[in-house]
Amino acid sequence: MAFISYLKSEHAKDDPDAINGFAFNLEWWAKKPRDVSPIAAKLAEACLYVVEHYEKFGATPEIYSDLRSRYQKLAAKFNRLSRR
């Protein structure tokens, strides 16, 4: 959860690599519902934070494609897992 604190801090400003790498990790964790369900609500909240503060990270579409929509899908997935 320390990384989520980093994302919410001012230190993550203009750090698109942070949210890009985190998205890959989250996508991997989403494939392991039994392992991640205890923290799924916190992960969904982190995903929504990225979506709502996307401009903060400075992720250009030319380099990072549609990273925001990946986070929207991940938030929905983790929300479902948190209700199990």
- What are the C-alpha distances in Å from 56 to residues 2, 14, 46, 72? 19, 6, 14, 16
Tokens of 48: 């929504």
**pLDDT, tens digit, for every residue of 36-79?**
999 999 999 999 999 999 999 999 999 999 999 999 999 999 99
Task: Give me the residue spans of the domains in the chain.
Answer: 2-82
pTM, two decimal places: 0.93
Report the distance separating Cα 81 and Cα 36, nearest Å: 8
Burial level of 30, CB count in 10 A (0-12/13-18/19+)? middle
Number of other residues whose CB lies within 10 A of the CB of residue 5:
11
Q: Over 90: is that where the pLDDT of 25 sits?
A: yes
